[in-house]
Structure 1
Amino acid sequence: MIAFTDFLPVPEPERTKVKLNMRAGDGSGEAWDFLMDDHEHWLRLNQWRTKQTNNNMGGARHLLAFAQYYPYGPQYFIFGGAFEVREVTPARFDDLGYELTPLPLHADYIKRLIIKLERPIGRAPYLRHYVGLQDSLAPEVYELAPDVKLGTFPGYQNVRLRHHELQRIIAGDEPSWKDALSSVKGVYVITDLSSGRLYVGSASGEANGLWQRWAGYAHLKNLTGGNRELEQLRRDLGDAHIVENFQYSILEIFDPKTRADTILARESFWKNALDSRAHGMNMN
């Protein structure tokens, strides 16, 4: 076991606090999602001050901020940065009571380092002194990912993946993405961002739905999933063009028991609706 304090030393332990964010108090979202996709809201979570001592910096000069990494479980938290803390004067409560300035300290671990607490904690947010945290919650280094962690699955209507993101999701078996994409069949669209041309395809017969279909596109020795239209583009422009310019989104989803001919009919509808035969990359 690698102890939290051994892995994340700080210059002033007695004047450092650790904040374990779980979700916004107003119910607007999870801390991890804000850390990934909404930097301003992530800062607000950590700037917020109440009169309760469990959400008060208490004269701290530095802050280590974490977000609950709920794909793994309630006692897992991912590092969201180190900050210099300045109290807003006059004091504000139930408001943004602190100014936070990002520090380079441990910046390489942001969105990569996951710690595991000895037990789940029951209140959010949860501010504790750096000194004593190791004894009270026994945090340990659970994982240091080689790359920045991707966000959890955002909902079928919000999927918009660049090729390098698709590669990482498939290669890493990202749990929330795999569960979501494996459980549905569907019609999807690939956009060539360099030209705006579209390719409409479907996962109609695959046992693992969209996950299995998109796994083909993510493979660096394939990239086209066997589509002859995309193969021609790859031969003309090269693999790098696909990796640098292709984006993947979902148009429509179906229950896995849906008949293949029903999904293929919807694929044809979307080809007509988006005119992807005449002005896109579909040939049939």
Structure 2
Amino acid sequence: MRRDFFQMYANHEEVFEPWILSQGRNRNREDDITFQFIETQPHRWLFVGAYMILSKYELIGHDPIADYDEIPYAKTEKLHQYDAFEGRAIFDWTNRPRSWWYVNPEIVDNVPLFEILPKPILERTNQVPGFENVNVDYQTLQSELTSMAWQTALSSVYGVYLITDNRTGRHYVGSATGAGGILSRWQTYLAKGYDPEEENSKDYPNRGLNELVQNHGLDYIRHHFSYSILEIFSKNEQGRKQALAREGYWKDVMQTRRFGYNRN
């Protein structure tokens, strides 16, 4: 079973440190300093601690949920001089395939800092104002999705949502029926402007939104788009079918095929 590192971090699970420090003999070398990050949104990496490696693979952790009975991990000393940035510093990084650690200074020294949160991410108490009241612009949504309350709420439901181009008045209606609910769909929109996995056209997924991003760039989305929820459904097969059916209904009501960004 694949583990969600952000949930482990948020729940203060004892096995979190063994997991992030179980990077293999070739990666953990004695006297090395390792900076640890977890992905909270697509391409957004949260700093969760700095450690000095005292000895590699000296300790054994146990995870009752994962498929591994034992997790060998490094014995470390946490470097508390970096605590002020733990849970606050977020970096913008697109991870390379099968690459989970980096030592090349040309890479490490050029990873851009995206944001330093005013308080640690787990201390954010922003509450969802009720699904029916969610209507936020791009920048606000990006900020709110660093809150555990928002992540938990949006990942708990399927739904039909409305995206509005506030510059032109055009709309896009979509549905979220994946494992991550509305959360994962919106996280992808924030990162790319459209979701390549969303089946919106037999010719090209999200063709309308994709064309907009290709022609005007993601900055257009950042400055002009807002997001709202039309309906929510339970995360089961019946809810999935209802969401897909109601997506078509709302496309008809909003006439987004004729006047908006929908292409199907």
TM-score by length of 2: 0.48
Larger radius of gyration: 1
Query: TM-score, structure 1 length as denominator?
Result: 0.45
